[in-house]
Amino acid sequence: MNSKSETDEASRGSEASSSNNSSTPSNSKNQPPVGLCAGSGSNNPHIMKRAAARQLIERYFYQLLDGCGNPNCDNKYCASSGEARNLTPNEAAAEAIKLFYKEARLCDTLPNKVPRTEASTCDSSASATCTNSNVKGKSSVESKQSDSASCSVSPADNKKDKPETSHNLTHEDKENVIYDNGSTLTEERIYELCDECLQTKNPEPLIRALGEAFTQPTILSKCFQRKIIERDSGNKGEKKSDKESEAMCSSSDPDKDVDSVMGPGLDVASCQRALQYLTKVPSEYYSSAFVIALTTLAENIEIDLRITKNLSMDDIVYCFVIAFEVPDLGCSDYLEIALPAMCHAAQHLSVKAQAKLARLWGQHCKESLRHILETIQQLITLRVISTNYSRTFQVQDDDSVTMATKLMKIVYYANMLAGVMEPSSLREEPVVIASQLDPLGDALDHLYPLSSIKSFKEAQQEDPLAIELDVNVLDVRKPYLPFEEFYNEPLSDTIEMDIDLANCKTEVANGRKFSFLKYPFVLTAATKSLGLYYENRIRMFSERRVSLLHAVVGAAPPMPFLRLKVRRSHLIDDALVELEMIAMERALDLKKQLVVEFEGEQGVDEGGVSKEFFQLVVEQIFNADYGMFTHRADSQTVWFNPTSFETEAQFTLIGIVLGLAIYNNIILAVNFPMVVYRKLMGRKGSFEDLADWNLTLYNGLKDMLNYTGSDLEEVYYQTFRICYTDVFGSNIFHDLKENGDDIFVTQDNKQEFVELYADFLLNKSVETQFKAFRRGFAMVTDESQLGTLFRPEEVEMLVCGSKNFDFNELEKSTEYDGGYTPDSQTIKDFWSIVHSLSLEDKRKLLQFTTGSDRVPVGGLSHLKLVIARNGPDCDRLPAAHTCFNVLLLPEYDSKEKLQDRLMKAISYSKGFGLL
């Protein structure tokens, strides 16, 4: 730095120190920042806030350790009062941060911020004769040794002696101050280079500086670091002792972002401001140079991670943070060359380094997450749409796509950390299903390992990064970015799911194959449901083969399918009795392919009969008259009846029915609130879940939480005894705490009341019924990837289908047979009629043609309807093969006749008979 800049900096530093004599936190927070050069944006409120916060925390730190020196002090946060307990430096640092956030009291007189020694204080009357301990080129340690009686100069003296003090820092001190020297970049340096480039139209100095910094990890990791030189009223230019600095920087409050206000390391905010300022310069000036620099940087990082290992984990992580703060370069070379190289280097990060990167992105780079995600998505999309994949070269073999997906996983976890998280204590206890012995089946699995889903599940482990971060998608109440933004539809449409599933099994065995099923956040729900479908079909085939081999050796009669024979008039009784028998005798039979037969009807089940069976079961079993579930009119949802007379076995069988529907790829008309799916996946209900279940109650409790008046007890007059009604309308009272009717809700305990209320309604009151229901569900789905592939919102879509009734998509995806084409007049009339139908009639049409009135996952474009010509004009009604989604449509001679016959057909379509 030139001397003028140093003088200006010294002047500002001494002014900051003078203002530090304020006795209250509120005054101290308005102090100007320290360590900024002239013209560097010293009025930036974020920098001022950090600097003031740092000074306040240090004042609390010394107050806790040394006290104020007043023997009559009555401040419980001061060591001189006698009330404060003895603290180690680490404990004092952590406590100081907590006191800062609660704006605790500060004493009027504080000890000087110098390395503490036995003689660190002196009489104030002798201040005029004291000498500066840092003059004549001595370090702080040397000064203490040579003159233990010396003390710091006054603020007025400091202002005069600052330039000399700055030049007499030790070599270790100078390494901790980021000056404008050589290749290391600072925010101020970027400002100067950009301004110079804009004024002179000469980008060479800017390009040279960026190239020198961004090609070498050792240089880039030292860029944009925090300034930790302290300019206090008692010690101008003197760095704190290493032990104290380390104690304060390593301490953290679990609820606060300590690193944002103090401590060495990367100053993310400064880096973001600097690189954002770079966008003022036309990108064509530096984009090509940046691409080359980032490519070289990635190569050097990979070399260090794999071979030399010279850099620390923090330095490597800082390089990635800075590199991904680079603004949009606006050139294809970045997506085609530099970004793939960075992704390739990132795959060599250790799990701990990935976790640190995720935390930094999640805590300090929230505003950058969307830019980082969009950049990675652009790379994947560009590669997918520009590459001709084949059965010999799959997308799983494309390193650019797979490496980008691995890096996106770090962004995915960072996005969760940046969002609203709930405590892990709300996890449901895991359901344990006792494994049943099947020696013959186990022998087959040994001979044919590809058919073993069991071995695949047992080898499946939780993501190591999730374990390191201690984060689970179920704990995320609201991510910073919607999870849907991580879907990549071109990639999802390109993946051959049968190959990806095989890779997933192979990856479990030897770790060599890449499978996108290991990175489910990038896949759409429709694509993942296809993977689940293939997995379930493999399991069905395996069970069918085992059953046939049992029959060959005489061990049991052949039962290759799960057969249910039921009467329409006694549907629930017949179905639940048969399922109960199967679950008791051999629960593994539930994993066979379901075949349903209605007694007295000629329908052969190729899928369509099962669809109608499930629809009829759902209609009856969720009927309020049945008594197992209650209905909420406001939310149009069903909930477990806490006072139901049905046994646990009945709820277990309902869970089996729901699991069988997913297992057999059948969509149900079930209207559970989202909390049911969260609980099925292993997460207890909490207060926020009330919004889906009972919005009126949720809003009332929310108003109570937001009420700040001191008369809450009189306004709400609510105790810890609550009242709810059973199915007969009778009132039932429950105490949330012992003697709850004697405990009124106040400002102090209202949060506890709300949490206990929600926990009772969503968990405890239906604990028996839900545990049985969840157990039945797990009996069918426990060995599938349902829990690892799908979030609760996706499971709801898997059960209930999509809510988007876009019949334009259905028209585009429909195929024609028997002589019909899209230009046939009958087909044109048909779609004209369909588009004019009400939503209810459209549901009836879906029910008639496919056996279900629900939209499949992914929308109607995934339905694959076939319309076949069924002869010339006649008086017959249209018919359908629901097993194959085929509509048999005669070629009626008028639109009116077509509409009349079609409406009659869809209105009276239950039952089976000969066509």
Please give the positions annotated as active site: 883
* CB-based burial, 14-43: b 16+ in 10 Å, e otherwise: bbbbbbbebeebeebbebbbbbbbeebbbe
Mapped to the 3 state alphabet, what secondary structure does 292-351 carry?
HHHHHHHHHHHHHHHHHCCCCHHHHHHHHHHHCCCCCCCCHHHHHHHHHHHHHHHCCCCH
- What is the rounded CA–CA span in Å between residue 783 and residue 736? 38
Non-local (6+) Cβ contacts of 392 within 8 A are: none
* Closest by Cα among 71, 532, 432, 49 to 262: 49
φ/ψ of 710, rounded to 5, equals -75, -10
CA–CA separation, 806 and 862 (whole Å): 11
Extended beta strands in 567-695, E state: 594-598, 629-632, 637-640
Residue 54 DSSP code: H
DSSP H helices, 553-646, are: 571-585, 608-621
- 524 token code pair: 């759409």
Residues 6+ apart with CB under 8 A from 766: 639, 640, 642
The closest alpha carbon to 389, from 486, 490, 485, belongs to 490
For residues 37 and 1, is the Cβ–Cβ distance under 8 A? yes
Paired with 734 in beta bridges are 722
Q: Are 60 and 102 in contact (CB under 8 A)?
A: no
Token pair for residue 482?
């919607």
Q: What six digits make up the tokens of 659?
A: 């699991």
Contact between 270 and 276 under an 8 Å Cβ cutoff? The reply is no
List all residues 6 or more positions away from 529 whose beta carbon is below 8 Å from its beta carbon.
665, 798, 857, 858
DSSP H stretches of helix in 807-894: 807-813, 825-835, 839-850
Q: What is the rounded distance in angstroms from the CA atom of residue 563 to the CA atom of residue 558? A: 12
Distance CA 796, CA 819 (A): 39
CA distance 70 to 125: 17
Distance CA 155, CA 12 (A): 12
The values of phi and psi at residue 402, to 5°, are -70, -40
Tokens describing residue 79: 């060591």
Query: Which H or E run includes 14?
Result: helix 3-19
Helices (H), 241-286: 242-250, 268-277
